[in-house]
Structure 1
Amino acid sequence: MGGRMIDVLGDGSAPRLVVFDLDGTLYPKEAYAEQVLAVIGRMFVELRGSSQAHADEKVAGLREAMRTNWSGTSTTSFVRANGFDVAQWLEYREAHLSIADGLVRDEDVVRDLARLREVVPIVLLTNNTRGAMTAILDKVGLGTGGFTQVFTSEDSRDTPKPDPGAFQVVLDRCGVPAERTWSVGDRVDIDIAPLVRLGGSGIAVDGPADLRAAVDHLIGLVRRG
């Protein structure tokens, strides 16, 4: 499972908690991007009454942002900027988006997260709904039981990633300070920078191929104490 070199952001303190992203981190982003783009285009037409041409133009702009700045592109932020509220977006994607259908069990991901869970609590933080998250985790092979706790859009409510408030919910409920918390995700601006602003650290990965290196790094920090 040879990935690229991971990018470490933070002070190197030993973690007492590790927060994982879901989309594009625990399964390849290619399984996510085109599906969610199609759903967003459909949402413009059905909920906003936009023409298909206008919807296609919006989707094309988001697709280009994903291509050129994946690390800083949040679909939740995009739909909010275009006048949809979070609850509306979550309800629509729950009804029309089924990423789990195209996924398969990933033994490497299951094994690597189990290794890390033996030495430090791990949690999941995603902007997905609980239903979508559960379906994805089941298909990948982790299940919700693969994490100490899971946090979804129902938990972060009006402060979804990249709002630091989503991470603050995790910190408060887990009782761990930001300074001893690490985040692992495929988008620096969305999955890592908000925690860093709170005083935490993170590792940027380019999908599941990099998880082994990230887990090895974190285990090394725990053992060095």
Structure 2
Amino acid sequence: MIDVLGNGSAPRLVVFDLDGTLYPREAYAEQVLAVIGRMFVELRGATPDQAGAKVAELREAMRTNWSGTSTTSFVRANGFDVGQWLGYRETHLSIADGLEPDENVERELARLREVVPIALLTNNTRASMKAILDKVGVGGFTEVFSAEDTGHTPKPDPGAFRVVLDRFGVAAGDVWSVGDRVDIDIDPLRRLGGSGIAVDGPADLGAAVDHLIGLARPA
């Protein structure tokens, strides 16, 4: 089921999230939790029990408030800087290994890009993003934006969306975001004046695309 959080404007650009949106969140969460626990031990000298407690804290946040839980925000709140987190994640995490091709995702994105430009905005590194897209079998974005592009303003910082808006030269009020976490993928753009559609995962993309095409091509 989708949740439309919009101003009713016809989209001039649609920005997609990656993790949990173009592939199921279940393929992401446990891998990331394991890597974060390892990072606390190796980079902060935490004991396994201490690291386990941090992982349990993040797992509970994911369970009770998936929409508002950002792993990047979590590690930053625990003293790791963005570069440190990205470097460690790049070395120790390979989400793509657990993914399968999904023809439906590419089909739905292809339907939408016939009527409006589409972009990808993710907190993944460029290499990780490419590996995931290749494994799922998704391409054709007008532009992609990774952690290297947003620097010290990753989602949920609205600055991540400002990077996208500046690159395309469009007003936020004409842009829609599609993602599985309202607080992370939708609200930062809404704070700039844009709109969004929250999905529970790739199975909801068809409904989201139908809605956006309807706005772009009013009856």
Match of 1:211 in 2: 205
Which of 177, 184, 189 matches 1:195?
Answer: 189
Match of 1:158 in 2: 152
Match of 1:181 in 2: 175
Counterpart CA distance in 1 for 2:95 and 2:166 is: 30
The one-letter code matched in structure 1 to 2:138 is L
Instruction: Note the 1:1-225 alignment, pairs <5 A.
Output: 4=1, 6-143=2-139, 146-224=140-218
Deviations 1:92-134 (A, max 9, x none): 0000000000111101001000000110000000000000000
> 3-state SS of the aligned residue for 1:169?
helix
- Name the count of aligned residue pairs: 219
**Which 4+ stretches in 1 moved above 3 angstroms?**
none
Structure 1 unaligned residues grouped into runs of 5+: none
> 3-state SS of the aligned residue for 2:27?
helix
Counterpart CA distance in 2 for 1:154 and 1:36 is: 19
Counterpart CA distance in 2 for 1:110 and 1:17 is: 17
Counterpart CA distance in 2 for 1:133 and 1:159 is: 17
> 3-state SS of the aligned residue for 2:88?
helix
Deviations 1:123-171 (A, max 9, x none): 000000000000000011113xx20000000010000000000000000
TM-score, L = length of structure 2: 0.99
Deviations 1:12-48 (A, max 9, x none): 1000000000000000000000000000000000000
Tell me the CA shift for residue 224 of structure 1.
Answer: 1.3
Tell me the CA shift for residue 209 of structure 1.
Answer: 0.5
Counterpart CA distance in 2 for 1:174 and 1:88 is: 29
Structure 2 unaligned residues grouped into runs of 5+: none
> 3-state SS of the aligned residue for 2:196?
strand
Tell me the CA shift for residue 10 of structure 1.
Answer: 1.4
Q: CA RMSD in A?
A: 0.7
Counterpart CA distance in 2 for 1:21 and 1:75 is: 14
Counterpart CA distance in 2 for 1:64 and 1:184 is: 24
Deviations 1:65-106 (A, max 9, x none): 000000000000000000000000000000000000011110
Counterpart CA distance in 2 for 1:34 and 1:41 is: 11
- % identical aligned pairs: 81
